[in-house]
């Protein structure tokens, strides 16, 4: 009570509370909670990622060990890693459904074009999180999927080679690539994401919820209040989503393959499931036509998505009463889902081996990394001994990690 009085004498709490209690439009349904669920997942990813970062080490010599250690030794490590891993997939699904909800009700139409544009940018950031995070465990699938991904980026006209070089940090995927992906995943993208969410939510509050298209002007101001009704529904949705994710994290271990082997040209590379549709698309455009699958279709698709509010100026009615919009949306959704299914069940893509290093080294460290390390006399040896091995007594759980440089060994 005293605190409330203290605060209300100093802050416009009454106005703030009145603002929160303002009624929303009528007929707001559960689909309107998808944006809040996306927000919740972003925060959950930030929180679980912050814990994982306490143990993770972004170098080819340690990354795989660190992830094994998190999964097998750290208390609740497997659970937190599970939340982060499955949370990323949930994020892509929820953001995609949120986008479809906005399309369904034509909520991108004037005056909400900017809200939409910042939403599309957020979608790209979410996919960026997925792409950069995939490399971090430094196992076979991480390494080879990144090889394919960077190769796709390199096919873009003019800037392609430059972008691929910046991503790799050199001629091949190695230690610098891992550092870069880690920096992008934990610093650059989170800053960008929270900045974009801030602007997105500012626009959402500024224009107010668009409600459903059938609302009369009167019904736009006579629905339930944002606080407490809508907030309550959103929080219930978050708790259900968390319960589902926690169950999956408990019962479905996150896969971790063998440590990355850049010489293993027989490996069948697979990206994360939400990039499978792009991966599948490449197979229909081989040779000189490759660029259509790697660059033209994805870029044109993204530009059209960004410009959607300016291309579709029709009256705001629900999707099934807009035949053209309904057809375009259905074709896109069926194509994405269909290509994803085909991609998941299809055989190996033939082009990857070509650009990769051949059997020059049997080390798990990429050639450029190894050369650099040897040149600077900094080659690192990593031993892991369990308590048991050290004490020769009962079953030990703790792992001791020693690092000796070549110099120290000699
Ligand atoms: C991390 C990703 C995202 C977060 C955290 C987020 C968050 C939100 C929230 C909390 C709302 C208000 C509640 C609702 O209408 O569901 C909202 C509304 C909106 N979002 Fe998003 N969003 C994200 C991605 C997107 C994407 C990918 C798009 C579309 C390309 C988009 C377009 C919109 C639009 C147009 C609205 C206004 C809807 C209306 O007024 O009815 N958002 N977003």
Question: pLDDT-based confidence at 351, cuts 50/70/90?
Answer: very low
pLDDT surpasses 90 at 102: yes
Cis bond before residue 30 (omega within 30° of 0): no
Q: Assess whether the C-beta atom of 109 lies below 6 angstroms from ligand 1.
A: no
Q: How much is the pTM?
A: 0.85
Q: What atom in ligand 1 is closest to the CA of residue 105?
A: 41
Q: Assess whether the C-beta atom of 41 lies below 6 angstroms from ligand 1.
A: no
Q: Measuring from atom 20 of ligand 1, which residue has the nearest CA?
A: 119
Question: pLDDT-based confidence at 370, cuts 50/70/90?
Answer: very low
Question: pLDDT-based confidence at 348, cuts 50/70/90?
Answer: low
pLDDT of residue 410: 41
pLDDT of residue 359: 37
pLDDT surpasses 50 at 409: no
Of 149-163, 193-207, 313-327, 392-406, give the lowest mean pLDDT range. Answer: 392-406
Closest CA to 234 of 17, 100, 35: 35
Q: Assess whether the C-beta atom of 126 lies below 6 angstroms from ligand 1.
A: yes
Q: Measuring from atom 8 of ligand 1, which residue has the nearest CA?
A: 35
How much is the average pLDDT of 163-167? 97
pLDDT of residue 1: 82
Report the mean per-residue pLDDT for the chain: 88
Rounded to a whole number of angstroms, the CA Rg of the chain reads 25
Q: What atom in ligand 1 is closest to the CA of residue 125?
A: 1
d(CA 35, ligand 1 centre) in Å = 5
Q: What is the pLDDT of residues 217-230, one digit of tens each?
A: 999 999 999 999 99
Question: pLDDT-based confidence at 349, cuts 50/70/90?
Answer: low
Q: Assess whether the C-beta atom of 212 lies below 6 angstroms from ligand 1.
A: no
Q: Assess whether the C-beta atom of 90 lies below 6 angstroms from ligand 1.
A: no
State how far the alpha carbon of 19 is from the alpha carbons of 14, 227, 384, in Å: 9, 9, 58
Q: What is the pLDDT of residues 10-21, one digit of tens each?
A: 999 999 999 999
pLDDT surpasses 70 at 148: yes
Q: Assess whether the C-beta atom of 103 lies below 6 angstroms from ligand 1.
A: no
Q: What atom in ligand 1 is closest to the CA of residue 123?
A: 27
pLDDT of residue 386: 43
pLDDT of residue 389: 42
> In the Cβ-directed half-sphere of 145, how many Cα atoms lie within 13 Å?
23
Q: Measuring from atom 13 of ligand 1, which residue has the nearest CA?
A: 35
Question: pLDDT-based confidence at 265, cuts 50/70/90?
Answer: confident
Q: Cα 25 from chain centroid? A: 32
How much is the average pLDDT of 202-226? 95
State how far the alpha carbon of 10 is from the alpha carbons of 17, 186, 260, 295, in Å: 15, 37, 58, 55
Contact 213, 106 (CB under 8 A): yes
Question: pLDDT-based confidence at 365, cuts 50/70/90?
Answer: very low
pLDDT of residue 346: 79
Contact 234, 31 (CB under 8 A): no
Q: Measuring from atom 7 of ligand 1, which residue has the nearest CA?
A: 35
pLDDT surpasses 80 at 204: yes
Domains in the chain and their CATH numbers?
30-370 (1.20.810.10), 377-409 (no CATH)
Q: Assess whether the C-beta atom of 94 lies below 6 angstroms from ligand 1.
A: no
Helix ranges, 108-159 (H)? 113-135, 140-154
Q: Which of 32, 101, 117, 119 to mutate to test the pocket of ligand 1 (most atoms within 8 A of CB)?
A: 119
What is the percent of the chain with per-residue pLDDT over 90, rounded to a whole number? 81
Closest CA to 332 of 302, 370, 310: 302
- Greatest CA span in the chain, whole angstroms? 83
Positive or negative torsion for Cα 225, 228, 234, 240: negative
pLDDT surpasses 60 at 401: no
Q: Assess whether the C-beta atom of 36 lies below 6 angstroms from ligand 1.
A: yes
Higher pLDDT, 376 or 141: 141
d(CA 241, ligand 1 centre) in Å = 18
pLDDT surpasses 50 at 392: no
Q: Assess whether the C-beta atom of 209 lies below 6 angstroms from ligand 1.
A: yes
Q: Assess whether the C-beta atom of 125 lies below 6 angstroms from ligand 1.
A: no
CA–CA gap between residue 369 and residue 300 (Å, rounded): 37
């Amino acid at each position: 009570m005293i605190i409330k009085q203290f605060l209300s004498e100093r802050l416009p709490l009454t106005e703030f509370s009145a603002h929160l209690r303002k009624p929303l439009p009528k007929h707001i349904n559960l689909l309107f909670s998808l944006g809040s669920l996306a927000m919740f997942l972003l925060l959950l990813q930030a929180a679980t990622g912050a814990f994982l970062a306490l143990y993770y080490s972004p170098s080819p010599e340690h990354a795989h060990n660190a992830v094994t250690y998190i999964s097998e030794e750290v208390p609740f490590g497997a659970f937190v890693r599970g939340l982060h891993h499955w949370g990323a997939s949930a994020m892509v699904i929820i953001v995609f459904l949120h986008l479809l909800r906005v399309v369904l009700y034509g909520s991108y139409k004037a005056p909400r074009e900017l809200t939409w544009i910042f939403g599309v940018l957020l979608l790209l950031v979410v996919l960026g999180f997925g792409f950069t995070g995939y490399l971090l465990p430094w196992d076979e699938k991480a390494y080879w999927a990144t090889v394919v991904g960077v190769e796709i980026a390199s096919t873009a006209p003019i800037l392609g080679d430059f972008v691929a070089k910046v991503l790799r940090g050199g001629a091949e995927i190695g230690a610098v690539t891992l550092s870069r992906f880690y920096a992008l995943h934990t610093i650059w993208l989170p800053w960008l994401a929270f900045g974009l969410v801030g602007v997105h939510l500012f626009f959402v509050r500024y224009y107010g919820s668009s409600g459903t298209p059938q609302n009369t002007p009167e019904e736009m101001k006579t629905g339930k209040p944002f606080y407490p009704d809508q907030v309550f529904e959103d929080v219930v949705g978050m708790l259900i989503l968390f319960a589902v994710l926690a169950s999956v994290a408990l019962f479905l271990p996150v896969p971790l393959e063998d440590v990355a082997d850049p010489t293993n040209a027989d490996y069948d590379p697979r990206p994360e499931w939400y990039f499978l549709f792009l991966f599948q698309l490449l197979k229909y455009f081989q040779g000189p036509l490759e660029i259509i699958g790697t660059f033209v279709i994805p870029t044109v698709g993204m530009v059209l998505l960004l410009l959607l509010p300016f291309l579709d100026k029709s009256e705001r009615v629900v999707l099934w009463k807009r035949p053209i919009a309904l057809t375009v949306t259905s074709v896109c959704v069926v194509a994405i889902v269909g290509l994803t299914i085909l991609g998941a069940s299809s055989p190996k893509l033939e082009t990857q081996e070509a650009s990769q290093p051949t059997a020059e080294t049997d080390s798990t460290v990429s050639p450029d990394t190894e050369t650099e390390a040897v040149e600077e006399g900094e080659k690192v040896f990593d031993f892991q001994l369990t308590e048991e091995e050290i004490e020769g007594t009962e079953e030990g759980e703790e792992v001791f990690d020693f690092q000796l440089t070549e110099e120290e060994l000699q």
